[in-house]
Structure 1
Amino acid sequence: MVDQHATHETKNLYYRLKNLARNESKILFGMQEATLQGLEGGHSPYILNRRHDGVEAWIYGVRLIQCEYLINTTSKNLNSDYMADQKYPDELCDVKRLTGSFPAIIGFDLYNLKPSELKTTNFLGRLAYERGEVISLVMHHNNPITGGSAWIDRDHGDYHKTVKRLLPGGDSNHKWNEILDKIAAWAHGFKDLHGKPIPVIFRFLHELNGGWFYWGLNNAVGNTVDELISLYRYTVVYLRDHKGVHQFLYAFSPDKFKDKNDYLKTYPGDSYVDILGTDYYFTDHWATKDNLQRSLRELVELAEARDKIPGLTETGYFNNKINDAPNFWNDHVLDVIKREKTTRRIAFIHAWTNQCWLELGHPKCLIWVPYKGHKGASSFVNNFYKDPITVFQDHVPNFYH
């Protein structure tokens, strides 16, 4: 493990996830923000927003950044922590309403670390933990130097050499430290009902081999491989050793890769990584089923050689193509994984968020997982959820105690 002083529950999670991964007969299913937002529709006090395409998005409370496009809401609900303050149960979940079970893993996003957002993440995360689910965190934080978006095509500031400037010796290292201080403060407050820290998979700097984030490669930011590796290592050491965060499992999750050498290009080293993952979306002609199979085989081989946990950290069908591929989760994902014993030895599959937002003045919804009424709903229940290899919350093992 990366953290030799990890809490008892965190160590249990690590070893039990690793044992599950070595078991070719079980794979956890996870989903990002499964109890924070969705598309099936809901009821008060959830925020509802009906779209022209018939999708009715729902949101638990509402993140402040979303207020600009929500309609027919009351002023009290325009606080992202309203429902968490009221300790309102997380009863809405597209996956649960379809299958009868929550996902086995639930992902959250630290975003820009606003107190109201963190309060909601804390509350929903604790509820999920009490059900036995695994908690995963990513962070699409704005560029701390420019204040612009994490996506460079939406940032009009001077983001050149961002990562170098955030490292020790850079003029903005203090800004990265401030972010890490906030993460540590949140982690120290993320506890169960008995006051024990709740374990978390921390998947930061994800897709760092891609060109779309300010922490990416081969784009106008001009980051180098060494700089990215250094920032990853610095973050682990700062949180673990300087801030005393001992409930994190650290995940490394680049985007698609060509071969093992390509995967390891930005790898920070075995001392800094607990989970080896990859984000693999079906986006273009290169993203084929055969290529997914090859990627997962190599991922498992790399992880097992290092005594690590392999996982498919994000996957799905871009541009709502799941609407035209109702059997996607079987014929593109699960059936591919089941082709060979090696690819079966991943710990989990993780889907992204069912959500709606406003983009350039127009509403946009993204569908990653079927919900009640979606044309892929029946296939997801009967072929994916009911497959003996997939594990949802209703059959999740005891990972912690």
Structure 2
Amino acid sequence: MTKASGSRFEVQPDLINPAASDQAKRLMEYLCSIYGKRMLTGQQIGVVSTPEFDMIHEVTGKYPAVGGFDFMNYSPSRVERGAERQDTDLAMKWWDRGGIVTFCWHWNAPKDLIDLPPDRTWGRGFYTNATTFDIARAMSEPSSEEYGLIIRDIDAIAAELKRLQDAGIPVLWRPLHEASGGWFWWGAKGPEPCIALWKLMYERMTHHHELNNLIWVWNGQHKDWYPGDSYVDIIGEDIYPPARDYGSQSERFRTAASYTDAAKIIALTENGVIPDLDLMQEDGCPWAWNCTWYGNFVFTGEGNNRRYSEEYTDELQLIRTYHHPFTVTLDELPDLKG
């Protein structure tokens, strides 16, 4: 019997945006209704190569409920360098199949890319060590070029989110992820400019662009970086334990719960290894969904020689996860469109 009971898991489906779309409200109501009772299976796909969904189906006979996508290549500093862009279209197809859509954004710095091979190239421009872009200057000087470029980039991604809104697609929106780690430029100068950027993005997207299809998933991973309950719908944690460590990650779950006194849904927004479902229930940490990262966390080999990789989550554990009564797979999702 699960220990996941009580007020911690009784979350009201009230979104921070009072003008939230019917689709966003419907998705949030569903998430709240199953929270503490079941976990949505999820999988991130690669930005260019995308075999992860089919690889999981090949092994388990099922598809994940949540599809993870990335606006990385829609960053203007990547667009101007010819980056391939397909995730918006892929997310639309996933929704059409009945799946839930979540997006992150590996935001390439708007300018000041070091572009020095091998590990500081423009293609790694979201990393602190690959750019000299100064978020503190940008957020403290609204008249600066840096601030103007921040607005330009937010507007570019808002245009993609507007396409999804026009198609009736709600989005579990997870920008500025893992900020407290400092390895991404938006977290390089400490909590204050990052919190200011989060609030700016929320205000710009919600009030200027009237994006009402977003459920805001905050993934800063430290209490000092929390922007406040009125700016967060869901709390996410990204966890990469050692290979085949199937622990429930209960300590991180409880840490996430400590960021606020409010009852918020807590999700495993990135993972390498998939935690054991029985341990999750025993330890009282039923993550709302998981989203396994892409590439070698799922497969090995190239082209027709690709096969499931057991390096992180062995095949039997994956099959068990996708057939466990606690998890929800694509075929088990309700109709969230109407």
TM-score by length of 2: 0.79
* 1:226 is aligned to 2:238: no
- What code does the residue aligned with 1:350 have? C
- What is aligned with 1:367? 297
Give 1:36 shift.
Answer: 6.0
- What is aligned with 2:201? 235
* 1:210 is aligned to 2:184: no
- What is aligned with 2:126? 150
- Give secondary structure in 2 for the equivalent of 1:314: strand
Count of residue correspondences: 300
- Give secondary structure in 2 for the equivalent of 1:144: coil
Inter-CA distance 182–374: structure 2 relative to 1 (3 Å threshold): closer
- Give secondary structure in 1 for the equivalent of 2:72: coil
- What is aligned with 2:104? 138
TM-score by length of 1: 0.67
> Gaps (5+ residues) in structure 1?
41-91, 218-222, 256-262, 318-328, 355-365
Give 1:333 shift.
Answer: 4.1
- What code does the residue aligned with 2:180 have? N
- What is aligned with 2:152? 178
User: Which of 53, 56, 75 is the aligned partner of 1:95?
Assistant: 56
My pick for the range that moved more, 100-109 or 376-385, is 376-385
My pick for the range that moved more, 230-239 or 11-20, is 11-20
- The answer (yes or no) to whether the contact 1:28–1:104 under 8 Å persists in 2 is yes
- The answer (yes or no) to whether the contact 1:351–1:369 under 8 Å persists in 2 is no
CA distance in 1, matches of 2:93, 2:230: 31
- What code does the residue aligned with 1:162 have? I
Q: Considering only aligned residues, what root-mean-square deviation do their CA atoms show, in Å?
A: 2.9
Identity, % of aligned positions? 24
- What is aligned with 1:111? 72
* 1:388 is aligned to 2:329: no
- What code does the residue aligned with 2:262 have? R
User: Which of 273, 285, 298 is the aligned partner of 1:343?
Assistant: 285
Inter-CA distance 237–274: structure 2 relative to 1 (3 Å threshold): same
Inter-CA distance 117–333: structure 2 relative to 1 (3 Å threshold): farther
CA distance in 1, matches of 2:228, 2:84: 30
- The answer (yes or no) to whether the contact 2:241–2:272 under 8 Å persists in 1 is yes
- The answer (yes or no) to whether the contact 1:281–1:316 under 8 Å persists in 2 is yes
- The answer (yes or no) to whether the contact 1:138–1:202 under 8 Å persists in 2 is yes
TM-superposition CA deviations, 1:183-207 (whole Å, max 9, x none): 121122225xxx5431111101000
- The answer (yes or no) to whether the contact 1:229–1:267 under 8 Å persists in 2 is yes
Larger radius of gyration: 1
TM-superposition CA deviations, 1:317-345 (whole Å, max 9, x none): 5xxxxxxxxxxx3xx443431223x312x
- The answer (yes or no) to whether the contact 2:73–2:84 under 8 Å persists in 1 is no
> Gaps (5+ residues) in structure 2?
1-14, 114-121, 301-305
TM-superposition CA deviations, 1:98-154 (whole Å, max 9, x none): 22222111111101314987862222111111222111111112111313411123x
* 1:16 is aligned to 2:30: yes
Give 1:4 shift.
Answer: 0.9
Inter-CA distance 97–117: structure 2 relative to 1 (3 Å threshold): farther
Q: How does 1:272-311 map to 2 (within 5 A)?
A: 272-282=231-241, 289=247, 292-300=249-257, 305-311=261-267
- The answer (yes or no) to whether the contact 2:47–2:87 under 8 Å persists in 1 is no
- The answer (yes or no) to whether the contact 2:175–2:217 under 8 Å persists in 1 is yes
